[in-house]
């Protein structure tokens, strides 16, 4: 393998109301990173809550037609786990290897993700219906 999976980076959770979600998880004793971020390309506003070696990433759609809004609509209008992100040491090598193995990718090249990460999604058809994000910080 030309790359290594390092650890679970974060779990992406689609939410209808980011402010309410932040309030709930703060009451549970968790602390969010100080700055929320809007990722225009993905039509989301995100907030990260560190948890051990990983993070919970709460995503709220900034538009009615964004991927998170569509996920919530397809999830009986409820919040839910939208993706699992795996940190890799070399995202370009990971994408090349997935392509060489015939594993369908949504992203053929890395794109910008929250926190300045380079990200690429595997197609859920290739992973048994689970949306998997590869990310490199």
List, for residues 23-80, the tens digit of each pLDDT value.
999 999 999 999 999 999 999 999 999 999 999 999 999 999 999 999 999 999 999 9
Looking at the whole model, is its pTM more than 0.75?
A: yes
Phi, psi values for residue 51, rounded to 5°: -150, 95
**Structural domain that includes position 82:** 5-136
**Structural domains in the chain (count):** 1
Question: In this structure, what CATH number is given to the domain that contains residue 48?
Answer: 3.10.180.10
- Count Cβ atoms within 10 A of the Cβ of residue 93 and give its class: 0-12 exposed, 13-18 middle, 19 or more buried: middle
């Amino acid at each position: 393998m030309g790359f290594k999976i390092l650890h679970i980076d974060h779990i992406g959770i689609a939410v209808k109301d980011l402010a309410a979600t932040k309030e709930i998880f703060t009451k549970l004793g968790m602390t969010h990173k100080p700055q929320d971020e809007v990722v225009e390309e993905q039509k989301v506003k995100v907030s990260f809550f560190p948890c051990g070696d990983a993070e919970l990433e709460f995503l709220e759609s900034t538009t009615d037609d964004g991927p998170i809004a569509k996920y919530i609509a397809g999830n009986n209008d409820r919040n839910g786990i939208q993706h699992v992100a795996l940190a890799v040491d070399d995202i370009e090598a990971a994408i090349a290897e997935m392509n060489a193995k015939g594993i369908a990718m949504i992203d053929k090249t890395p794109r910008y993700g929250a926190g300045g990460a380079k990200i690429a999604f595997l197609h859920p058809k290739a992973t048994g219906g689970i949306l998997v994000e590869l990310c490199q910080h």
